[in-house]
Amino acid sequence: MALLLARRLLQAALILLGVAAITFVLLYALPADPAVLLAGRNATPQTVANIRHQLGLDLPLPVQFWNYIVHLLQGDLGRSFNQKTAVAPLILARLPATLTLMAAGIAIEVMIGLTLGVIAAVRRDGAIDRLVMTLSFVGVSTPQFLVALLLLYVFAATLGWFPMSGYGTPAHLVLPAVTLGILGAGWYARIVRSAMIDVLGQDYVRTAHAKGVPAARVVLRHALPNALLPVIAMIGIDIGQFMSGAVVVEAVFGWPGIGQLAWQAIQQVDIPIIMGVTLVSALAIVLGNLLADLIAPFIDPRIRAG
């Protein structure tokens, strides 16, 4: 276990370095010039040049990247071009909202996906199976903004059950979390169905049925735990995806997470914030996958034995 942890931490460091390098090059290859945006439309070339010098944008790209990495190793994510403040506190201030939305969204999508996936597998090739698979296909194919606007119209504007936007109470959390849950549940349902069908065909499941074990116990006690490994892996991926902040969902519901912060930074070409959010998201993906790898042996002892 210690060797696995050390190896994965080394891989994480290399992945983060690669993500930082690729993102850095792509951002500075954009035609938009942050110095021009900061200077304004009527700025003189000299003013733009002065701003570029103050921001260090006139240095060669390898030098800029080296300086960024040196500061990054010291825990410094740089300073926002527009907000004139350190990036790390800006991201930390948005993390509670993002973590809350992430936890709620993952909980909803897992509950819905597990339930529908098990039902579809047990009722394989029947009308219920086809209905669940159709709904899952619709769920994963529907754009986020469409689901968000539909929920807002029905449950906020028409029925008035929930607030239109904002943050701070459980009521504010319901609609954005359900939006993410509906969109993610389709993937979980399809994967759980596939894994359950494979497990239900195993010899030990047929043996349990032959011994007269109740069908519900066979499914929930014997089959389902062995079909959870793909779900654990997907949760690890979702942690990183939601940590990037479901940008569209946060924008529609006015949720003050790091996704909304990233969207504002993209509009303003605020490179330090974009870099900071990207690295935090990459770190979350790496840690989520590492956590999934560490949990998997406790679910399936065969992995531990291997």
User: pLDDT of 202-245, one tens digit each?
Assistant: 777 777 777 777 877 777 777 777 777 777 777 777 776 676 55
Least reliable range by pLDDT among 39-53, 60-74, 97-111: 39-53
Point out which residues pair with 86 in neighbouring strands: 79
pTM exceeds 0.85: no
Statement: residue 17 has pLDDT above 60: yes
Query: Of the ranges 36-40, 51-55, 176-180, which is most confident?
Result: 176-180
CA distance 90 to 79: 10
Per-residue model confidence (pLDDT) at position 305: 45
259 residue type, one letter: G
Spell 270-294 as b/e; 16+ CB within 10 A means b: bbbbbbbbbbbbbbbbbbbbbebbe
Statement: residue 112 has pLDDT above 80: yes
- Tell me the pLDDT of the chain averaged across its residues: 80
User: Can you list the domains of the chain with their CATH numbers?
Assistant: 20-73 (no CATH), 94-305 (1.10.3720.10)
User: pLDDT of 79-89, one tens digit each?
Assistant: 888 788 888 88
- 25 pLDDT band, cuts 50/70/90, is confident
Name the nearest CA neighbour of 82 among 277, 247, 272, 276. 272
- 186 pLDDT band, cuts 50/70/90, is confident
Half-sphere exposure of 277 (CA within 13 A, CB side): 28
User: pLDDT of 270-305, one tens digit each?
Assistant: 888 888 888 888 887 787 777 767 776 666 655 554
Percent of the chain surpassing pLDDT 70:
92
CA distance 53 to 88: 23
Query: Of the ranges 17-26, 130-139, 153-162, which is most confident?
Result: 153-162
CA distance 275 to 88: 11
Give the burial class of 249: count Cβ atoms within 10 A of its Cβ; 0-12 exposed, 13-18 middle, 19 or more buried: buried
Statement: residue 199 has pLDDT above 60: yes
Per-residue model confidence (pLDDT) at position 19: 84
CA distance 165 to 176: 9
CA distance 69 to 275: 11
Percent of the chain surpassing pLDDT 90:
0
